[in-house]
Amino acid sequence: MLLELYLGGQGLASICDDVIRPTFEEIGHRWECGDVAVYQERGACEITHRALGELRLAWSTSDRPAPLAIGGTPSGDEYRLPTAMCELVLLEVGWNAISLGTNLPFETWHAALEARRPKLLWLSVSHLGSRESFLAEYPPLFEHAQRLGIPVALGGQALDEPLRRQIRFTTYCETMRQLEAFAASWKASHEGSASTNSPDRGDEHRLAL
């Protein structure tokens, strides 16, 4: 179904926001009410992840150089769908986007920044095992990204407003359309510039559409 929607002309951000997100919100509501069993929810996740994988495989690669974006979820977050959706949305707007996976400890994010030197880092945070650990370990990663001139895009339901007030980031996206808009704007403003990997946005801002 997702591939059919895409081939029919619907953008990936629209598919994520208007099809996948409300579907899983409804599944979550029905699970809370006892109308959906855990195996059914997990099965829906697997089916959707496979469908996103089909979209990823169907993506036509281009010989044109594209800026590298890497992302995934931090330690304690096993949710695969959000970061897979981020990867696809970024691909559609011209990034070489690579999701590194889920439940990655912060030390390996530091290693990835040094080894890959991306132009964009995204973190999807749907679940936090410990808010205190996140508040201790995330800020050094943001500072590391800043030193390398890498913008950091955050998203996910675990990053509530009280927590966001305690951290810094380049942008916080509540929807895939917001991520799409930020990434497209950033790429356009830095494409072909020597300062592509040198953002001047030291303080946090929130993208609001």
Domain layout of the chain by residue ranges:
2-190
State residue 9's pLDDT score: 62
Three-state DSSP state, 10: coil
| Sign, Cα dihedral of 114, 201, 80, 159 | positive
Return all residues near 170 (Cβ < 8 A) that are at least 6 apart: 151, 152, 153, 199, 201, 204, 205
Residue 156: phi, psi to the nearest 5? 125, 145
CA distance 128 to 113: 22
State residue 4's pLDDT score: 67
Q: Does domain 2-190 have CATH number 3.40.50.280?
A: yes
Residues pairing with 104 in the sheet = 74
| Sign, Cα dihedral of 100, 168, 126, 15 | negative
- 1-37: b or e for each residue (b if 16 or more CB lie within 10 Å)? ebeebbeeeebbbbbbbbebbeebeebeeeeeeeebe
For every residue of 19-52, DSSP letters joined together read: IIHHHHHHHHHHHHTTSS-HHHHHHHHHHHHHHH
The mean pLDDT values, 10 residues at a time, for the chain of 209 residues are: 64 85 69 70 74 75 79 95 95 94 97 98 96 97 98 97 98 97 93 46 34
Q: Compute and round to an integer the Cα radius of gyration of the chain.
A: 17
